């Protein structure tokens, strides 16, 4: 029997009736940071969650647990391959069960509303149809293997700036057609067992207590009956959220749903015990279901799985998009580059495998581009390397390494000694040696809650001279070198969300060290009080960054130019690391950080054969675009990053990825420009979604072509494809078939995307010119021809009529277009429809 069709546990109601009111209330919030309450004596198991958009971060942020790092959702979306998405979900489920987690916090399906969205990489696309279809398959893959999917963030979490308090004004039509639509598709097709609410407010109400979203749409219109949980720290009320349908406050122990607060709400008549029963029943139903699945489907042992590594490598490569290939500079096959010199510049020695925040993973390993290319091209090529630009947003944490020096703790072993103190006491309650670096995360443990933390290390530098030291703490924090105070932050951090994800600005100081001499470095931080972010309230955490001045201030660009001048080809690796593109902060700029644009321009001035491989989850400015011959958008492709890149660069895999987002030339042309991230009114951030339904290509279709560097759906190949005439068949009230012949008339095997757009022939200002209504990936051997039949549902290009409260397809003539992108139409045909209405 499919897991979604499993009958409710036969003892569900009996167990529920056996629980006291206090125990039922206990089920409505987490017991720990990642798990719900359990009552073994009453046969109530726990739900064990883990972050998991592209890898299992379990338990919480433990540095000792390693997991497979899969490609980010933007990379998966670029494959446009629903079968691959399903395999992705299955593999993620196997990873989760190995780690003891039975509920994955993903996938993320919020829309890429603006290129500066800090968390765009974790979501699929600017297009709700593509997002919903890919999410549906990931969810089905997860739940086929007995792990609950938690689709998130419901709804409209399109920015990180003030994400817990920003109030978004969105029309119902835009909500329905753009922001709710991917949830609707995935929920109706895949029935995720859980939904996570967003932090933000929509039209004046927090999402966790939004009756229209949770009661009227999610459980009303869509008829869904799974578990609704809050984002971590995203519960904003007691009675309102419970009455609206929020089943579970996370994390635990509860901050809002404390036993006394819930009972007081019942006593005041704001809540009924029936509501408590309903919410507890939902939590219990999922907990029992997951336990039954685990008992019937035992998981294999923990550890790396070769088949997962192969899937990650394939998925990463299939998602990479060849944006430019002037004069056929790519692929760089062995035969083509034998005896040549290739300069690897930029982040070639860094695997930009994932973004920051909930999607960051302590990977089993990470293959760098340099490693991948060396393995692919062997000794037939002479490689050189230049860093070209700094990568890190913040100075690297201090730890034992060959470049900065040796660090040992009080026990003489590598690492720091961690001590935890009660305020007012100098006697440590916890002392632990071997702490790997000068960072202490506040998440994943309650050991430092309302405690003082101290990291002490004995540092022996390798270089004499001045060094930069940078620091930030959640609460008041100090840094001492041999008992000398060299840095003090006397208040809470001004950027708690940035601190949470290692992306807060850190003041830098200079201090002189002598090579071979040992210094005591002590980092001491107090717990934050009234920090303004519930999830961090009272949790101590601090970070210290470190770098020799000679390293930090070196002329990296000059070195890169010298290396490039001496090479036949220059491959420049650009992008964002997990500190630049992260949950908790929106992008600082549309331009690449650390003068990477200037680096590309300088290298292109001395080498005519430049290929840029860019690893970001978002569109970026490309002022150097006309100066380079090749360009690959590599996204964040996971732990096999370097191998996936090498597969595309050398032609071992023919690129077939297509852009799931538009790449505008200038940020001023983005649809939400001027309305992102909003404006402060009476001290509160408010944002108006004035672009309505004209998001992504729906907006760019109305602008001149030169406003866009690369349109949605664009992607090149090392082979060529020819298409026959597009035909429409089997037109019915609800659907029709689009039929097209496609032939690979190029030199190698390759994949092509059939992307079909539909729009009314007589365009109007109120509606997009066209919308993506169907897509299918087709792979063909050279010379092979195939007839492709794609079914298109009428409702998938209908619009939401606010007055009638119906999905509406207007009567008239429509055009179906086959595109190589949203702007490059190769074939089209027309058909007529009668007016049709659907309930919401």
Sign of CA dihedral 586, 591, 595, 600: positive
Q: Which residues contact 81 (CB under 8 A, 6 or more apart)?
A: 318, 777
Helix H or strand E encompassing 86 = helix 82-98
**Residue 346 to residues 82, 549, 612, Cα–Cα distance (Å):** 33, 20, 10
CA distance 728 to 712: 24
Six token digits for residue 328:
């056929």
The residues that are catalytic are: 231
Q: Does 534 sit behind a cis peptide bond, omega within 30 degrees of 0 on the bond before it?
A: no
How far is the C-alpha of 506 from the C-alpha of 56, rounded, in Å? Answer: 29
With vertex at residue 679, the alpha carbon angle to CA 673 and CA 684, rounded to the nearest 5 degrees, is 145
Q: Are 612 and 572 in contact (CB under 8 A)?
A: yes
Query: What DSSP assignment string belongs to 19-56?
Result: S-HHHHHHHTBBSSSSBB--BGGGTBPPPBEEE-SSS-
Residue 370: partners with Cβ closer than 8 Å, 6 or more residues away: 344, 348, 349, 383, 385, 642
**Adjacent-strand bridge partners of 738:** 728, 790
Q: Encoding tokens for residue 649?
A: 């660069």
Strands lying side by side in the sheet with 341-346: 321-325, 630-633, 610-615, 569-575, 341-346, 382-386
Structural element, H or E, at residue 436: none
Q: How many residues does the chain have?
A: 840
- How far apart CA 756 and CA 828 sit, in angstroms, is 9
Q: How far apart are CA 697 and CA 660, in angstroms?
A: 10
E-state strands within 399-464: 405-408, 416-421, 428-435, 439-440, 452-461
Dihedral angle, C-alpha 361, 365, 368, 370, nearest 10 °: 170
Q: Which helix (H) or strand (E) holds 812?
A: strand 812-819
Residue 414's Cβ-side half-sphere holds a number of Cα atoms within 13 Å equal to 9
Provide the token pair at 552. 């930090």
Non-local CB neighbours of 674 within 8 Å, separated by 6+ positions: none
- Which residues 6+ apart lie within 8 Å of 258 measured at CB? none
Tokens encoding 830:
């027309």
Q: Where are the alpha helices (DSSP H) in 605-749?
A: 641-650, 697-700
Give the neighbor-by-neighbor strand order of the sheet with 836-838: 799-801, 806-809, 836-838
Phi-psi region of 69 (alpha: psi -120 to 50; beta: other; left: phi over 0): beta
The conformation of residue 625, written as its DSSP 8-state character, comes to G
Element spanning 134, H or E: helix 128-144
Which residue in the block uniquely carries the two structure tokens 């409260």?
805
- Looking at the DSSP assignment, which residues form a beta bridge with residue 228? 195
* Chain-centroid distance, C-alpha 332: 31
CA distance 563 to 577: 24
Q: Which two tokens stand for residue 765?
A: 């200002």
In the block, tokens 């991948």 appear at 372
Closest CA to 575 of 619, 623, 629, 640: 619
Give the CA angle between residues 339, 340, 342 to the nearest 5°. 140
């Amino acid at each position: 029997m499919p897991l979604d069709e499993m009958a409710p546990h036969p003892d569900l109601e009996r167990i529920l009736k056996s629980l006291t009111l206090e125990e039922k209330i206990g089920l409505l919030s987490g017991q720990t940071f990642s798990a719900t309450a359990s009552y073994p004596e009453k046969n109530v198991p726990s739900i064990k969650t883990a972050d998991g958009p592209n890898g299992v971060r379990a338990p919480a942020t433990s540095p000792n647990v390693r997991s497979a790092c899969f490609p980010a959702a933007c990379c998966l979306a670029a494959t446009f391959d629903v079968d691959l998405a399903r395999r992705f979900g299955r593999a993620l489920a196997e990873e989760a069960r190995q780690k003891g987690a039975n509920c994955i916090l993903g996938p993320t399906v919020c829309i890429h509303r603006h290129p500066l969205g800090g968390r765009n990489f974790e979501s699929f696309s600017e297009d709700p149809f593509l997002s919903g279809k890919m999410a549906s398959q990931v969810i089905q893959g997860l739940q086929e293997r007995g792990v609950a999917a938690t689709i998130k963030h419901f709804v409209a979490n399109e920015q990180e700036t003030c994400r817990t308090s920003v109030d978004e004004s969105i029309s119902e039509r835009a909500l329905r057609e753009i922001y709710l639509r991917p949830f609707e598709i995935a929920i109706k097709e895949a029935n995720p067992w859980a939904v996570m609410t967003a932090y933000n407010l929509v039209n004046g109400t927090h999402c966790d207590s939004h009756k229209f979203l949770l009661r009227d749409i999610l459980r009303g219109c869509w008829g869904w009956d799974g578990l609704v949980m809050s984002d971590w720290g995203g519960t904003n009320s007691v009675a309102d959220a419970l009455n609206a349908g929020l089943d579970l406050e996370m994390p635990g122990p509860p901050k809002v749903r404390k036993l006394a607060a819930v009972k007081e709400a019942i006593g005041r008549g704001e809540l009924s015990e029936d509501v408590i029963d309903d919410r507890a029943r939902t939590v219990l139903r999922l907990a029992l279901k997951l336990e039954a699945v685990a008992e019937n489907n035992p998981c294999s042992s923990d550890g790396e799985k070769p088949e997962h590594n192969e899937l990650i490598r394939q998925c990463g490569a299939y998602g990479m998009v060849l944006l430019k290939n002037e004069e056929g500079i790519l692929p760089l096959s062995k035969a083509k580059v034998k005896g040549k010199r290739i300069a690897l510049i930029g982040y070639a020695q860094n695997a930009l495998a994932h973004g920051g925040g909930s999607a960051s993973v302590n990977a089993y390993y990470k293959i760098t581009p340099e490693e991948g290319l060396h393995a692919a091209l062997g000794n037939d090529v002479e490689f050189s390397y230049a860093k070209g630009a700094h990568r890190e947003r913040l100075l690297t944490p201090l730890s034992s390494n060959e470049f900065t020096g040796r660090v040992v703790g009080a026990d003489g072993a590598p690492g720091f000694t961690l001590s935890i103190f009660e305020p007012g006491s100098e006697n440590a309650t916890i002392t632990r040696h071997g702490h790997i670096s000068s960072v202490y995360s506040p998440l994943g443990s309650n050991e430092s809650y309302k405690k003082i933390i101290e990291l002490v290390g004995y540092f022996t530098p390798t270089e004499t001279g001045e060094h930069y030291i940078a620091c930030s703490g959640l609460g008041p924090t100090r840094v001492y070198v041999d008992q000398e105070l060299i840095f003090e932050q006397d208040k809470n951090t001004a950027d708690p969300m940035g601190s949470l994800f290692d992306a807060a600005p850190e003041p830098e100081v200079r201090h002189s060290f002598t090579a071979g001499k040992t210094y005591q470095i002590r980092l001491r931080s107090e717990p934050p009080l009234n920090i303004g972010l519930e999830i961090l309230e009272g949790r101590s955490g601090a970070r210290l960054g470190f770098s020799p001045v000679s390293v930090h201030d070196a002329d990296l660009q000059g070195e890169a130019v010298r290396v490039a001048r001496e090479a036949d080809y220059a491959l420049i690796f650009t992008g964002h690391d997990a500190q630049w593109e992260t949950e908790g902060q929106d992008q600082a700029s549309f331009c690449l950080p650390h003068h990477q644009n200037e680096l590309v321009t300088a290298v292109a001035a001395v080498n005519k054969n430049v290929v840029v491989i860019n690893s970001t989850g978002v569109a970026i400015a490309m002022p150097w675009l006309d100066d380079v011959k090749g360009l690959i958008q590599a996204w964040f492709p996971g732990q096999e990053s370097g191998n996936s890149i090498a597969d595309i660069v050398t032609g071992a895999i023919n690129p077939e990825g297509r852009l799931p987002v538009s790449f505008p030339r200038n940020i001023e042309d983005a649809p939400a420009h001027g309305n992102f991230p909003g404006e402060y009114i009476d001290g509160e951030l408010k944002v108006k979604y004035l672009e309505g339904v004209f998001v992504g290509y729906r907006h760019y279709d109305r602008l001149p072509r030169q406003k866009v560097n690369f349109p949605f759906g664009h992607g090149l190949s090392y082979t060529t494809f020819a298409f026959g005439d597009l035909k429409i068949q089997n037109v019915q009230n609800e659907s029709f078939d689009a039929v097209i012949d496609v032939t690979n008339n190029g030199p190698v095997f390759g994949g092509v995307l059939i992307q079909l757009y539909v729009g009314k022939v007589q365009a109007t200002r109120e509606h997009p010119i066209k919308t993506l209504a169907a897509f299918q990936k087709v792979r063909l051997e050279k010379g092979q021809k195939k007839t492709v039949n794609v079914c298109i549902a009428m409702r998938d290009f209908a619009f939401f009529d606010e007055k009638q409260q119906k999905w509406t397809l207007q009567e008239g003539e429509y055009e179906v277009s086959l595109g190589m992108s949203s702007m490059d139409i190769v074939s089209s045909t027309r058909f007529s429809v009668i007016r049709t209405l659907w309930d919401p």
